Structure 1
Amino acid sequence: MIKTSFIFIISLFCIFGVSGQQLSYLKPNVSMPAHPRILWAKGEEKKILDNIAADKNWARIHQVIIDESNRMLAEPTLERIQIGRRLLATSRECISRVFYLSYAYRTTNDKKYLARAEQELLKVSQFSDWNPSHFLDVAEMTMGVAIGYDWLYYDLQASSKDVIKDAILKKGIEPSLDSRYNSWLKASHNWNQVCNAGISYGALAIFEDHTALATQIIDRAIGSIRLPMQDYKPEGAYPEGYSYWGYGTSFNVMFLSAVQQVFGSDFDLSAAPGFLKTAGYFQQMVGSSGKNFNYSDAGNGAGLSPAMFWFAHRNKDNSLLFNEKNYLQGDTRSLGRDRLLPAAMIWGKNMSLDNATTPKQLIWVGQGKNPVALMRTSWTNPNAIYVGFKAGSPSVNHGHMDVGSFVMDANGERWSMDFGMQEYESLESKGVKIWGREQDAERWQVYRYNNLAHSTLSFDGEFQRVEGYAAIDHWTDKPGFLSANSDISVVYKNKVQQALRGVAIIKGQYVAVRDEITSAKQATTVRWAMLTPAEVSLEKDGTATLVQKGKKMQLKVLEPAGASIKTWSTVPPHDYDAPNPGTTLVGFEVALPANTTAALTVLLIPEGAKADKSVRPLKDWNKQ
């Protein structure tokens, strides 16, 4: 058996070109610590237990993990249930169960957690495969199984260890060598981060049994993961948005933390431009309503992120835990849905959440592939105004045609919103091809994905140009005039000579959205629209009253004079589109003759605020 396995691995080396590769980062005979070695070494339990005893915040997180572990004891063991092309839900549940149960065992020594973790590990190890055709499934399953194998190494039955170790090798690592399944090695998005992290965990777990192969796998990952890490430059804005930051960046940090723990170095990976700054992006993406700026394929929820504890420690910046501390003051039961939650206990073991200070920065601007400007009037006032403004391009991974879109919070509510994602299987199961990014791709027919369903402009009812890209061109950081503006002309190619959009919070009281447009050589009709969850009542003189939960906001058109505000239904055109109940598009249309310049100026005035009767041209905003 041993001889057969050895021959098979050698064959893989030859077929997939792993053997003979020069190591770029690791030494051939690199030493490896004893188990447990991944994230949390033997003997480090005491520090976490001391933290739990000394800080009620850590005690809350710990108790969530223990409560969830107890709940898991009564659940049936995992089954290989594939939904469409994905086994991912099962893989994620595997991480959650094994991570939580293994943590519970290491902190309590209660063998009921060990026994159940061993059952789960054996069950998934005996699956026919971990679905390599959708490799995220393999990566997450490998990570979960590797954590359990490593953390419980000396307490698992010998027969169980053989089965689990074999599964890590054959169902996790070996498929990653197959060119049919490993295109993620050259990707610059979350697949690279997740897959390299998961497979590297497998290599770390069984390192002593397959040293040459494991060394190559980890060395390969150190080189490959640099590709997506380049996408954080220059300031840390993550191109795929809030939800995928929570996915890709968290697994990236899982990788860095494990490598640092084992080798004493992260091989300068965390020095990638913008990477350590990206925690600021993630923090600033959450508005005063408690919702995130959910552009691209994102949900609108927000919650504690274990990765933020790693960033706070690395940056020596406790203000990065401001949101995390606030989340712990509320209902903590939702924390148990985060499969990586035990990592927060590890990364935060040397810090106190009582020392989390209030951030000072009221505007955060990040360029890169999908630039954003994020501004607010206060971090502590629940009625504060918050605006997220997006430039960028529809061409990025998971991108929408949302260049120029914005969200706006005031008085604890979201007034300008973004639909965010539609669940992929709901589209794929109906044959919709959602992953093309060409101008004529079927993706853009999905209602939530194109600009007609976003708080931005459209011309003659046409889609934005996929190849277009817009930067944040200027911004101001004075508390009385927080602003950002962008030249978004390129996404309306052939419709305009120029389209400039600026968004500002003025005097801390209200928001102005100003567009300056020069039409092309033919006439066009521009539609200004804002997506809102509020009930809309149309008034005279270019105003509308928005109402939700007993609160009000006024939308007022300053320019062009006499604009007639209207609403558009958000009932989508296709049976495959998700329904959008309780939402409305509100705005106006303006017919522009050829070669005409016009300004569109709209004020969003929260209840109780007073607004000026004019807004300066964009060229003067930087003079404010």
Structure 2
Amino acid sequence: ASLAEAVYLLGERLAPEVRQRVRQEVERRIFKPYLAYGRRHWWHRADMNWNGVCNGAVGLAFLRLERDPATLAEALDEVLEGLEAYIATGFEADGGSLEGVGYWNYGLMYYVALAELLRERTGGRLDLLAAPRLRDIARYPLAVALSPGLFAPLGDATEQQALAPGIVQRLAERTGVEGLCGLLASPQGMDGAGAMAKLAIVLRNAAWWDGELRPFPPAAQDDAYLPHCAVIRFTGQAAGGRPLALVAKAGFTDGHHSHTDVGSFILHVAGESLLCDPGRGRYSRDYFRQARYENVFCNSYGHSVPRIGGQLQSPGPEFGGRQRYRGQIVDHGREGGEKYVRIEFQGAYDLPALRLAQRVLALDPATGLVRLDDEFGFAGEPLEVEEALVTWCPVEVEGRLARVLGGGSVLEIAIAEPEGALWRAERLEEACRANGKEGVLTRLSVRLPTGALRFRASMVARAR
């Protein structure tokens, strides 16, 4: 797509032999293979971002370089067939993406670029962005935003994520989701900035973005619920009126970029995640094979979920699991001044004896107090339960009290039940080095006494 854009824009300012060579190579490497067997590629109708990237980029190249109307029509028919599947299946019914904001951005960059070029070339007769579903898809980043430039890094995502400004502004204008532009931040040093350094995207960022960095939008500071993604966000205030967000997820443990993290949550206060989702590990060949879930950044050892009977949550069939494992948000609402969510996640473990694993997270939006209440049930003798919370921040442990030392806040986590349960802290230094992380993830854990079926703790963030 970038070569096609360059030849189209520079035209005769390029030497004839350069123009001819580009056309020959694009014809040989892209056009002929795509028309011959493009539909056989796994990504052509895939329910993921690579569909949008590949079909969108191919479509842009055809529109810029193909001179034969019949060939162009054939190619666009194939491109639009793939992209129709992308929009229909690459996002959940609520418009959310299980791949996270980074892949939402990556796939839509090329989709939006192609959609607007098609609208221009057809005089508005073909307008992909006019579909009502695009409005729900455009809202997704607003539902998982934590603070300016930061998003819930569920699955293979990163917390600090750059969005393509021109693409986002055009999508916001075309769908009417104006708050989306308030999520734009300077991309310098952010993950995803490299993906935008393609000519087709650079040009549209320059042409479509007005250069403004707007205030963080109200829609990103409100509660949000994505029922089909099984993600919920509560907002409130910590001490001193500092903004707080509590994000929790259920859902499945399989998918293109999924982790075994059902029931995990993030506690974010004034721009920093005191309890985190660690995001993706280092990409490698094994990371996308069955060894994927030996990596603590993918498996539940590196997430804020319990280990039960010595077992972690089980991956789905895409990466060697026996079946689909899942949890679900069974209830959420307000009660007694608190916002709460109830998650049942026994189905995330390959443990027939586990009959109940239920987590309730409750937030007092006025004070920022968070309550964690986990309950377990078994067929027969209870299995051992080890609770866990993870953080990138330094940690202090004093028996039943743990302190997470953030840059601007101290999170105090006090065990209320059961008696005899004590915190311990484990620094996952080797795993972090192996995954190229600058910081060190710490796993706070509590081994429940034999026979204990409930764990309760309270958390409150205070300014440092």
Please say whether Structure 1 and Structure 2 have the same fold, judged by a TM-score greater than 0.5. Answer: yes
User: Which deviates further from its counterpart, 550-559 or 530-539?
Assistant: 550-559
CA distance in 2 between partners of 1:591 and 1:495 (Å): 18
C-alpha distance in 1 between matches for 2:180 and 2:112: 16
**How far apart are the structure 2 equivalents of 1:603 and 1:266?**
57
User: 1:236 aligned to 2:95?
Assistant: yes
Structure-2 change in CA distance of 1:478 and 1:311 (3 Å)? farther
* Pairwise CA distance, 1:313: 0.3
1:172 to 30, 35, 38: 30
SS in 1 for 2:147: coil
The residue aligned with 1:455 is: 304
SS in 1 for 2:328: coil
Aligned pairs (5 A) from 1:79-158? 143-158=1-16
Q: 1:279 to 1:481 in 2, by over 3 A?
A: farther
1:44-65: CA deviations, max 9, x gaps?
Answer: xxxxxxxxxxxxxxxxxxxxxx
1:202 paired residue number? 61
Match among 336, 346, 349 for residue 207 of structure 2? 346
Check whether the contact 1:447–1:572 (CA below 8 A) recurs between aligned residues.
no
Change (3 A) 1:319 1:290: closer
Moved more, 410-419 or 574-583: 574-583
CA RMSD for the aligned pairs? 3.2
* Residue 457 of structure 2 corresponds to residue 589 of structure 1: no
Counterpart residue type for residue 30 of structure 2: G
**Shift in CA distance, 357/565, structure 1 to aligned 2, threshold 3 Å:** closer
Please give the alpha-carbon distance, in whole angstroms, between the structure 2 residues aligned to 1:454 and 1:414: 13
Match of 1:553 among 383, 408, 411: 411
Aligned to 2:115: 256
Distance between the aligned counterparts of 2:328 and 2:377, measured in 1? 19
Aligned to 1:222: 80
Name the CA shift for 1:539/1:290 in 2 (closer, same or farther; >3 Å). farther
Look up the match of 1:564. Answer: 422
**One-letter amino acid of the counterpart of residue 258, structure 1:** L
Partner letter of residue 150 of structure 1? Y
1: distance between equivalents of 2:270 and 2:220? 20
What is the DSSP-based 3-state SS (H/G/I as helix, E as strand, rest coil) of the residue aligned with 1:236?
A: coil
1:519-538 alignment, distance < 5 Å: 519-538=378-397
2:374 corresponding residue in structure 1: 515
Greater share of strand residues, 1 or 2?
A: 2
Identity in percent: 20
Q: Partners of 2:460 and 2:355 in 1: how far apart?
A: 31
Give the deviation of 1:199 after TM superposition: 0.7
With the length of structure 1 as denominator, give the TM-score of the two structures: 0.65
Specify the alignment match of 2:288 in structure 1.
Answer: 435
- Which amino acid is 2:225 matched to? V
Mapping 1:215-364, distance limit 5 Å = 215-231=73-89, 232-265=91-124, 269-270=128-129, 274-288=133-147, 290-306=149-165, 307-324=167-184, 327=185, 337=194, 338-339=196-197, 340-348=201-209, 358-359=218-219, 362-364=222-224
CA 1:512–1:367: 2 relative to 1, 3 Å? same
CA contact (8 A) 1:452 1:461 kept: no
Measured in 2, the distance between the counterparts of 1:587 and 1:332 equals: 36
* Alpha-carbon shift at residue 274 of structure 1 (Å): 4.4
Q: Alpha carbons of 1:191 and 1:317: their partners in 2 closer, same or farther (altered >3 Å)?
A: closer
Alignment of 1:352-431 (within 5 A): 358-359=218-219, 362-368=222-228, 370-377=229-236, 383-424=242-283, 427-428=284-285
Pair 1:474-2:331 in alignment: yes
Match of 1:185 in 2: 44
CA radius of gyration, larger in: 1
Relative to structure 1, is the Cα distance of residues 254 and 608 closer, same or farther in structure 2, using a 3 angstrom cutoff?
A: same
Which letter maps to 2:458?
L
Q: Is the 8 A contact 1:237 1:367 kept in 2?
A: no
Asked whether the equivalents of residues 383 and 412 of structure 1 are also in contact (C-alpha less than 8 Å), the reply is: no
Q: Contact (CA 8 Å) 2:354, 2:377: kept in 1 or not?
A: yes
Q: Deviations over 1:507-564 (max 9, x none)?
A: 3322222222212334311221111122222224x21122133631101122224421
Aligned partners of 1:295, 1:408: CA distance in 2, in Å? 13
Distance change (3 Å), C-alpha of 1:317 and 1:449: closer
Superposition deviation, residue 567 in structure 1: 1.6
Aligned residue in 1 for 2:293: 444
Report the CA distance between 1:400 and its aligned residue: 1.0
Q: Residues 357 and 457 (structure 1 numbering): CA distance in 2 closer, same or farther, change over 3 Å?
A: closer
Q: Summarize the Cα distance change of 1:372–1:574 in structure 2 as closer, same or farther, 3 Å threshold.
A: closer
Structure-1 residue corresponding to 2:343: 486
Q: Cα distance 1:401–1:332, how it changes in 2: closer, same or farther (>3 A)?
A: closer
Alignment of 1:51-90 (within 5 A): none
Structure 1 SS opposite 2:263: coil
TM-aligned CA deviation for residue 605 of structure 1: 0.6
Alignment match, 2:320: none
Give the letter for the 1:560 counterpart. P
* Gap regions ≥5 residues in structure 1: 1-142, 610-624
Letter in 2 for 1:152: L
Partner of 1:98: none
> Separation in 1 of the partners of 2:54 and 2:288?
19
CA distance in 1, matches of 2:121, 2:20: 23
More off after superposition, 338-347 vs 402-411: 338-347
Normalised by the size of structure 2, how large is the TM-score?
0.85
Shift of 1:225: 1.3
Match of 1:605 in 2: 460
Question: What displacement does 1:236 show?
Answer: 1.4
Partner amino acid, structure 1, of 2:331: H
How many pairs align? 445
In structure 2, the residue matched to 1:211 is 69
Indicate how the Cα distance of structure 1 residues 275 and 316 shifts in structure 2: closer, same or farther if over 3 A, else same: closer
CA contact (8 A) 1:260 1:266 kept: yes
Amino acid in the other structure paired with 1:183:
W
How much has 1:579 moved relative to structure 2?
6.0
| 8 Å Cα contact 1:454/1:531 also seen in 2 | yes
